[in-house]
Amino acid sequence: MNGDLDLRQRFEELRDAERSGVPPFRASRQRRPHSSSWRWMPVTVAALLLIVSLSVVFSMRSRRASFTSDDRIAAHAIADWHPPTEFLLRTPGSELLTSMPSIPDGAVRSLVQSSKGVSR
């Protein structure tokens, strides 16, 4: 396979070229990673937390509404308002749907007595 051979040769050339730049083992063994690698981590995290908490506080403060007495009066007026055509929405007998019907005591008693008579 000529292609594979060519590829192998190219990689060998790459290997030869890179081999000259390999640092000595001792140097790699003793080398410290970037001195600052994690030193500033707590500071960065603290700064990020501060920014986030400040932005949350400010956004909440701007969202909190403050009402004057005039606002409250207006709000009550709006809540109490009924449209003049509201009566059109009331259907006949709609009160039956919102209240419990009461049965007179006498009627209940006579019903009980009649049911006893049937069972005998």
Q: Which residues of this protein are in contact with other proteins, per CB under 8 A?
A: 3-4, 7-8, 10-11, 13-15, 17-23, 25, 28-29, 31-34, 36-37, 40, 44
Nearest approach, Cβ of 13 to other proteins (angstroms)?
5
Cα-based angle 90, 95, 100 (whole degrees, multiple of 5): 160
Residue nearer to other proteins on the CB measure, 11 or 58? 11
- If the CB atoms of residues 40 and 58 are measured against other proteins, the closer one turns out to be 40
| Sequence-separated (6 or more) residues with CB below 8 Å from residue 23 | 31
For the chain, report the end-to-end CA distance as a whole number of angstroms. Answer: 109
Nearest to 65 by CA among 75, 51, 50: 75
Cβ-based nearer residue to other proteins, 27 or 78: 27
Smallest separation, CB 76 to other proteins (Å): 54
